[in-house]
């Protein structure tokens, strides 16, 4: 299996997961709005479910963005770089991205420990927030490992 096949497979899995999450988010929103305005009975815990699903979409999408080199960049000067300069710029950008993602993962993990330490839950549905933050940390850490591997293995930019 080549790196490109692995990248394509991970993209497919991530796209399917994101599709399911977005359908769930749409369903929660539709049920909540229809219930609220037509039946004067909003979905119980709808706001909390919406917040958690939006968080899940953001963090589930992080590996896909990483695999596609889709992080926000400003290339005001890089169009003038030589091919070697562009390769170095990509390498440095990936190393910086890996460091930022690793720092974010560490902070999310620490935050999850604090939330779990005082048993923080959502107000209505009582969903524990510590594991939610730690799950986001794991995804962030996995993305950091992916982008670091892409830098070190000199994987070409996604087309």
Of the listed ranges 2-16, 51-65, 92-106, the least confidently predicted one is 2-16
- pLDDT tens for 18-65 read 999 999 999 999 999 999 999 999 999 999 999 999 999 999 999 888
Look up the pTM and report it. 0.83
What is the CA angle 116-144-53, rounded to 5?
50
- What does the pLDDT read at residue 66? 85
Distance between CA atoms of residues 19 and 131, nearest Å: 23
Retrieve residue 126's tokens. 């009582």
Beta bridge partners of 121: 128
Are the beta carbons of 61 and 18 closer than 8 angstroms?
yes
Distance between CA atoms of residues 91 and 69, nearest Å: 11
Distance between CA atoms of residues 78 and 111, nearest Å: 37
Q: What is the 3-state secondary structure (H, E, C) of the chain?
A: CCHHHHHHHHHHHHHHHHHHHHHHHHHHHHHHHHHHHHCCCCCCCHHHHHHHHHHHHHHHHHHHHHHCCCCCCCCCCHHHCCHHHHHHHHHHHHHHHHHHHHHHHHHHHHHHHHHHHCCCECCCCCCEHHHHHHHHHHHHHHHHHHHHHHHHCCCCCCC
- What does the pLDDT read at residue 157? 64
Q: Where are the domains of the chain?
A: 3-152
What is the CA angle 27-54-130, rounded to 5?
120
pLDDT band at residue 159 under the 50/70/90 scheme: low
Residue with more model confidence, 95 or 89: 95
**What's the rounded mean pLDDT across residues 61-82?**
78
């Amino acid at each position: 299996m080549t790196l490109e096949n692995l990248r394509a497979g991970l993209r497919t899995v991530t796209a399917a997961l994101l599709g399911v999450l977005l359908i769930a988010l749409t369903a929660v929103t539709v049920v909540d709005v229809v219930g609220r305005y037509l039946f004067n009975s909003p979905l119980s815990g709808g706001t909390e479910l919406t917040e958690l699903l939006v968080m899940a979409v953001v963090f589930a999408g992080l590996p896909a963005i990483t695999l596609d080199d889709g992080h926000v960049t400003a290339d005001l000067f890089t169009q003038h770089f030589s091919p070697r300069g562009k390769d170095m710029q990509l390498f440095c950008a990936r190393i910086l991205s890996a460091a930022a993602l690793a720092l974010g993962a560490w902070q999310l993990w620490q935050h999850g420990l604090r939330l779990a330490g005082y048993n923080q839950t959502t107000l209505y549905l009582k969903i524990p927030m510590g594991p939610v933050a730690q799950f986001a940390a794991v995804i962030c850490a996995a993305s950091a490992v992916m982008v670091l591997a892409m830098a070190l293995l000199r994987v070409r930019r996604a087309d």
